[in-house]
């Protein structure tokens, strides 16, 4: 992840981090431009999944297959063989 200084838009160097929770982390970062030298704080937080975790996917597929009528379930199994 590349962070830019909010003041001068130069690259920042992360100097420390602090984990607030499983989904929120705070980053302290220094501007690498001598003339600026600002230190900034950023929050990185989880938003949402764009692909569910594998365990959720397998559970979803298992429920989906188990809820198929028997003939469709057998047809699916036969098509995989
Ligand atoms: Zn700067």
pLDDT tens, 11-65? 999 999 999 999 999 999 999 999 999 999 999 999 998 887 877 777 878 888 8
What are the residue ranges spanned by the domains of the chain?
A: 12-45, 48-81
What's the burial of 38, exposed, middle or buried (CB within 10 Å: 0-12/13-18/19+)?
middle
- pLDDT score, position 25: 96
Determine whether 54 is exposed, middle or buried from the number of CB atoms within 10 Å of its CB (0-12, 13-18, 19+).
exposed
The yes-or-no verdict on residue 7 having pLDDT over 90 is yes
pLDDT of residue 16: 97
Distance CA 17, CA 63 (A): 41
Ion ligand 1, residues whose Cβ is below 5 A away: 5, 7-8, 10, 31, 33, 36, 38
Q: Which two tokens stand for residue 10?
A: 């130069």
Ligand 1 centre distance from Cα of residue 6 (Å): 7
59, 8, 50: which is closest to 31 by C-alpha? 8
């Amino acid at each position: 992840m590349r962070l830019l200084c909010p003041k001068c838009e130069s690259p920042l160097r992360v100097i420390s981090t602090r984990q607030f929770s499983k989904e929120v982390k705070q980053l302290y970062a220094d501007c690498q431009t001598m003339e600026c030298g600002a230190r900034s704080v950023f929050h990185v937080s989880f938003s949402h999944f764009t692909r569910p975790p594998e365990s959720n996917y397998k559970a979803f597929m298992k429920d989906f297959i188990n809820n198929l009528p028997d003939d469709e379930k057998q047809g699916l199994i036969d098509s995989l063989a």
